[in-house]
Amino acid sequence: MDVWKRLKLFNGGDVYQCGSPLGGAMVVHEVSQMIAKGFGRVATVGAFSTGVGGGAAAIIDLDQPQLAVAVPTGYTIRPVRISVQVQGGLAATDNDETEILVAVDPYGQWTGDGTFTAELPINMRTDLGQGSACRVGSAFSADMTTTPAGAAAADPVLDMELARKVNTLDISTIAGLFLHELSLVYEPLHGPFIVGPATLLVYWGGTVEPTGGFCQAAWVEGRNEEFYVRV
């Protein structure tokens, strides 16, 4: 049996051959190739030492994320690394909670509504220009929506959760120092193919509103016909 399969990788159209001794197709790790071809993007939330707060009372707010990456129809993204650092608020009672959530609305695209800060992603190849096929916004302070194909705009539907971290506090009755910090790094070995229309969303918040938070999100993106591995 001929075990070699012709695989078109997301590498500018070059075609490679590879296969396993058992006859299955093999795909080499292609993220580095994507970045080298200029398809990597990075967006950050928070500036220098000034973070972005949010989430008090509801802990996290479904329609006011701290980061939204809207993937348009005809495009696909794959998360490479999402790192979040939250400066917790001043805890007052037992069970005060701080939370981080990374999730996807797999069918609805954010189209630019709400009040937010527009972000201009940086190319992961620094000799190339800024920009992205995706709309990117941060620090939402008024409600946003997502719009599925052929349907009306509505609140995001988080059918795919990628990562979560929760910190629940137990306040000591003895006077002393108290450390309150929360961070998360999502760095998938096999990241999902987020196919537009869709939206990648990052949230953080707490029962007591955090004094600030930061996020560094990296992904690779491309047109559907460029992106998929075809056997």
Question: Mean pLDDT across the stretch 218-231?
Answer: 79
* pLDDT average, residue stretch 33-58: 81
Whether residue 32 lies inside any domain: the answer is no
Most confident of 3-12, 32-41, 162-171: 32-41
Residue 53 has pLDDT above 50, yes or no: yes
Is the confidence at residue 1, as pLDDT, over 50? no
- pLDDT of residue 135 exceeding 70, the answer is yes
30 found inside a domain: no
Average pLDDT, the chain: 81
Residue of 94 and 164 predicted with greater confidence = 164
The answer to the question of residue 109 being in a domain is: yes
Residue 71 lies in a domain: yes
Residue-number span of the structural domain to which 46 is assigned: 38-223
Above 80 in pLDDT, residue 181?
Answer: no
Decide if pLDDT at 175 tops 80: no
Beta-carbon contacts of residue 143 (< 8 Å; ≥ 6 apart): 63, 64, 113, 114, 155
Averaged over 81-106, what is the pLDDT? 83
pLDDT score, position 24: 54
Mean pLDDT is lowest, of 12-21, 142-151, 207-216, for 12-21
- Do you find a cis peptide bond into 210, omega within 30 degrees of 0? no
More confident: 201 or 94: 201
Contacts of 194 (CB under 8 A, 6+ apart): 71, 76, 77, 78, 79, 104, 106, 200
The pLDDT confidence band at residue 165, using thresholds 50, 70 and 90, is very high
The label of the residue with tokens 């999100």 reads 217
The reported pLDDT for the residue numbered 13 is 40
Whether 184 maps to a domain, the answer reads: yes
Domain for residue 18, yes or no? Answer: no
DSSP 56: T
Q: What are phi and psi of 134, to 5 degrees?
A: -90, 145
50 pLDDT band (50/70/90 cuts)? confident
Contacts of 224 (CB under 8 A, 6+ apart): 74, 75, 76, 195
pLDDT of residue 30: 78
Q: pLDDT > 90: what percent of the chain? A: 54
Q: How many domains does the chain have?
A: 1
pLDDT at 19: 47
Q: What is the pLDDT of residue 215?
A: 95
Q: Is residue 54 part of a domain?
A: yes
| Confidence band for 178, pLDDT divided at 50, 70 and 90 | low
Residue 56 lies in a domain: yes
**Residue 35 near residue 125, CB atoms below 8 Å:** yes
